[in-house]
Every structure is written in C-alpha cells, then in structure tokens.
Amino acid sequence: MTDRYAVIGNPINHTKSPLIHGLFAQTTGQDMVYTAVLGTPGAFAQDVAAFRQAGGRGMNVTVPFKMDAFACATEPSDRARMAGAVNALKFDGDRILAENFDGIGLTRDVTHNLGVPLAGKRVLILGAGGATRGMVMPFLAEQPAELVIANRTVATAQALVAEVLAQSPASPVSACGYADVSGAFDLVFNATSASLHAELPPVPVTAFAPGCLAYELAYGKGMTPFLKLAQQAGVTHLADGVGMLVEQAAEAFEWWRGVRPDTRPVIDQLTVPLV
C-alpha cells in the first residue's frame, strides 16, 4: 500500500515540501504520497489523529504548530527537546516520535554544500527564536571557537544561552544585544524573521569579516536587506535558506524511509537567484 505523509501548517499554500518530497520519492523509487494539510488553530492534536487514522506514517510541521507538535509527541528527540519545537513526526503504533531537523539541515548545507566549516570559527547568529533554538546544539557540535547569539530582546537570547550552559557548561556560547556585537565574525546567520517584512536587524556592518559567509535563513526572497548589508560590507559569499530547507527535508525523508535522497538537483530546482 502507498504510504502517506504530509506537511501541516497554517497557512500552507506556500509550502514547497510536497514538491521536495515528491522529487525525493521519485528519484529514490519510494512508494509514497506527500500532501499539504491546512491545520486548525487550537486543534492540532485532532488534525494529527485524523491523519494517523487515515493511514498517515509521518508529518512535517511548520508555522504555527511546531510547539504543538512538541506537546503531542510521545518520544521527542534530544534535539527536539532543546529546541522545544518539532518539525517532523513519525507514527509507529501508539508512539509519536518527534524530531527537529532545522539545525542539522542548516549545518549540512553550510559545511557540506557551501563548503564552509564552523570548526574554530567565530560564528554570529542574529535572532533567538525557534530556528536559533534548533541551530545551537548542531552548531556547537561542530566546535566553533565562539558562538554569539544577538537578539533584539536580549533576555530571550540570555535565557537560551543559560539553557545551553546548564547542559554543557564549557560551551563557547554567549548572548548580547545588537549594540554589544563586537569584532568581526567568519559566519553570520540571519535567523530573525525581519526579512519576511523587508526589515533589517540592526547588526553593525563591522560584524562581517572579510571573506565571511553571510547566510539568510529566509529563502526565495532574493537580496534581503541583511544580504545587501553584507554585500555593502564587501562580503561575496552570500547564501539563503533554500539549502537548509531541502537538507532538513532530506533528514526527515531518511528518518522515515531509510534512504538518503540526493539533494543537489532539488536545491538547484528551487534556487531563486540572489539578485
């Protein structure tokens, strides 16, 4: 029987996940269908139960349900626990296994696809929301020299750093506000949602080291204000989050199906040029 998967979110009409997983299924020869489900605010658990009853094997979860998905999981992974948010569910009898692949997908895009190691580097993350929570542990596993999290609401970044240090006290991680970002960084990630409103987080231009990688987590938006600022600072290595999107999908696909799809052609197909 054809196995069923879906992405659930609200709104959901913009999602690229059915296209990505459809291409993965085609190229790996998996007998599965992958659709989009418009989730009902306040009734996430019921929507998931209905999908499971109809034979669903797994789901991706997007805004605004990532925390609801964490709440309904019976077995969240360590990564999901750290993030307090879930972007993939796997159904196995009564068990609901939950994962957060955003950070690991981003790490793979940066280190593997873009060829930029984090090891020994000064790394700056702008923003301290859900995406950053998923990034911190996979980034620290790469052993950067320093990981600084700057956020508009400094207390949110400080709380996240306190959680990380409670788990691994020797981690080279710290929090600050934008005015206190000092020195130049080898990798700068815009993990704020500012670009979704064509806004710019107030990162000082001096944060971009010559030769650094400036990475915008939003995707398909061309040159965002963040990427334009990096370019003005002389940065030539610019990227957006399309690779992260496809790599987190590949992680979920392998988790569900036990097969690793080739991501390169899918990234190429979805890439919107940075102009």
Work out how close the CB of 203 gets to ligand NDP at its nearest, in angstroms, rounded to a whole number: 9
Binding site for ligand NDP (CB under 6 A): 102, 127-132, 151-153, 156, 191-196, 199, 201, 217-219, 241, 244-245, 248
Rounded Cα–Cα distance for residues 3 and 7 (Å): 14
Q: Is 66 a catalytic residue?
A: yes
- The CB-nearest residue to ligand NDP is 129
Q: Measured from the CB atom, is 8 or 94 closer to ligand NDP?
A: 8
| Shortest Å distance, C-beta 151 to ligand NDP | 5
Concatenate the DSSP letters of all residues of 64-133 into one string. Answer: T-HHHHHHH-SEE-HHHHHHT--SEEEEETTEEEEE--HHHHHHHIIIIIS----TT-EEEEE--SHHHH
In whole angstroms, the minimum distance from the beta carbon of 108 to ligand NDP comes to 12
Q: Would you say 147 or 245 has its CB closer to ligand NDP?
A: 245
The pair of three-digit structure tokens given for residue 162, joined into one six-digit string: 């306190």
The least distance separating ligand NDP from the CB of residue 84, rounded to whole angstroms, comes to 10
Closer residue to ligand NDP (CB): 58 or 243: 243
Query: Which one, 145 or 196, has the nearer CB to ligand NDP?
Result: 196
Q: Do residues 254 and 101 lie in contact, with contact meaning Cβ atoms separated by under 8 Å?
A: no
Bridge partners, residue 35, by sequence = 6
Distance CA 148, CA 126 (A): 8
Annotated catalytic residue within 66, 90, 121, 228: 66
The H or E element that residue 176 is part of is: strand 173-176
Catalytic residues: 66
